[in-house]
Amino acid sequence: MITKTKPNNLLVTPGVETYTLTYREAVREAMREAMLRDERVFLMGEDVGNYGGCFAVSMGMLEEFGPMRVRDTPLSESGFTGAGIGAALNGMRPIVEVMTCNFSLLAMDQIVNNAATILHMSGGLFNVPLVIRTATGGGKQLAAQHSHSWEGWYAHVPGLKVIAPATVEDARCMLWTALEDPNPVMIFENSLLYNLKGEIPVDPQPIDIDKARIRRYGDDISIITFGRSLFKVLDAAEILAEEGIECEVIDLRSLRPLDDETYIDSVVKTNRALVVDEGWKSVGISAEISARIMEQAFYDLDMPVERVCGVEVPIPYAKHMEEASLPQVEDIAAAVRRMVDHG
């Protein structure tokens, strides 16, 4: 079928033939295609083989590709991430799956001190073409240790690329671009998106992972976000449209590098900016975006940049408290109403 997208809701490439699958299936299909296309690509991580992955992303891949290319690892993030770096240095194209992003902290020395620095410290002689996939975000009642969003931490580090595909199409199409990059790329997949159904092109093409995308056009305010928060923002924008407030919604997609041009151009048009991030406000990605807007578009603003972020507490276990600690649709809508009315 040909997908007919609303002019204001651009979640898929308009005007192309598409089919439906889940975010989980899109990631699996992307990995399968990569492994079929390039024998250097392999997947490694905890429970990715016999178990099919903690989130069932790699289900069936062990049977298709065998244990040499779908490799279960010991419970040692530092060990198998380091092995992935070594494989990349020796000409392979590893996909390292770290079960959830909190476990990536156990591999941070390998990621930050090795993967991100080897090209620089070797005088440009050695690239590390490594892709690290990990699940991020709260909302699953997994309590403090398994519910945080660390993508902003890694976006701080030169030598890494950090991307956060929100849509099914991006989950399907950004992986191949990441694998072609000669340097390490971290992909943060919000685990609450794995069951999301969406449209992808029948003939998917690689996507520029450095570019943000406008998901909804509007003239009253620019809302800048990424990951699962995109859908809360779009829901809020639909509610606000019924009230006569038209929001322009920017999906960053990439947190390092940031596509300044796309969101700055939007802010210059709307004269207002709201940044939505599940992560904490202090020293986070929202602070960086706010600073860049102030540096590059200060005189175009009708009011200060505002932010809706996670409450600065360890994520609670209790459902009602967890929901209260994360940005919700009404929080976003209330912030927009306040900003537009103030203007």
pLDDT tens for residues 98-150?
Answer: 999 999 999 999 999 999 999 999 999 999 999 999 999 988 888 888 888 99
Report helix angle 260-270 to 285-297, nearest 10: 60
| Percent of the chain whose predicted confidence (pLDDT) is above 90 | 87
- Would you say residue 3 has pLDDT above 60? no
**Set 146, 156, 238, 288: catalytic member:** 146
Separation in Å, CA 120 to CA 28, 81, 132, 141, 270: 33, 19, 20, 40, 40
| pTM beyond 0.85, yes or no | yes
Instruction: Report pLDDT digits (tens) over 81-92.
Output: 999 999 999 999
Res 212: pLDDT: 97
CB 186 within 8 A of CB 136: no
Active site residue 322: no
Q: How far is the C-alpha of 37 from the C-alpha of 32, rounded, in Å?
A: 8
| pLDDT above 70: percentage of residues in the chain | 97
From 195, 263, 200, select the one nearest 226 (Cα to Cα): 263
Give kind and range of the element (H or E) at residue 227. Answer: none
Active-site option among 25, 46, 77, 169: 77
5, pLDDT greater than 70: no
The domains spanning 18-201 and 213-342 adopt the same CATH topology: yes
For the cut 50, the answer to whether the pLDDT of residue 7 exceeds it is: no
CA dihedral over 91, 177, 273, 239, signed as positive or negative: negative
Establish whether 342 is a catalytic residue.
no
CATH architecture observed for domain 213-342: 3-Layer(aba) Sandwich (3.40)
Grade residue 14 by pLDDT with cuts at 50, 70 and 90.
Answer: confident
- Contacts of residue 202, Cβ cutoff 8 Å, sequence gap at least 6: 16, 17, 18, 19
Query: 247: helix, coil or strand?
Result: strand
Q: How far apart are CA 85 and CA 318, in angstroms?
A: 38
Per-domain residue ranges of the chain: 18-201, 213-342
Residues across the chain: 343
Model confidence at 324, pLDDT cuts 50, 70, 90, reads very high
Q: Given pLDDT bands bounded at 50, 70 and 90, which one contains residue 343? A: low
The predicted pLDDT at position 13 comes to 72
Q: Where are the alpha helices (DSSP H) in the chain?
A: 23-37, 61-65, 77-89, 108, 118-121, 151-154, 168-180, 229-241, 260-270, 285-297, 319-325, 329-342
Q: Which amino acid is at 96?
A: V
Please tell me the class of the 18-201 domain.
alpha beta
